[in-house]
Amino acid sequence: MSARQRSYYGWLPASRAVRDEYMTRLLNRELFRRSRRPEIQHEPAVESFRKTIEANPTMVELWGKIFLQVSKENQVRAHP
């Protein structure tokens, strides 16, 4: 799979460098898009889901635990 692949078909490439490059491009594109339109909101269903989780401390804790269970090998590194 090329590092320049433009389509995403649901599977992550085996190469961490390719994944990192893909995630960096995706993040930068989204940050640029949001900088031009700061009023962008979640879809109504996503916003409702967010409010439901944030309204219940147990759900907030469980939601946080989802990310703690991710394998150390597959964690997305922070990008500057």
Radius of gyration for the chain, computed over Cα atoms and rounded to the nearest angstrom: 16
pTM, rounded to two decimals: 0.40
Write out pLDDT tens, residues 14-34.
788 888 898 899 889 988 887
29-53: average pLDDT? 84
Q: What is the pLDDT of residue 2?
A: 47
Kindly tell me if the per-residue pLDDT of 73 is higher than 80: no
In a domain, residue 6? The reply is: no
In a domain, residue 66? The reply is: yes
Distance between CA atoms of 49 and 60, rounded to whole angstroms? 12
Which residue range(s) make up the domain with 58?
Answer: 16-74
Contact 59, 52 (CB under 8 A): yes
In a domain, residue 4? The reply is: no
Counting the structural domains of the chain, the total is 1
- What is each CA distance from 47 to 27, 31, 65, 66, in whole angstroms? 20, 19, 20, 19
In a domain, residue 9? The reply is: no
In a domain, residue 2? The reply is: no
In a domain, residue 3? The reply is: no
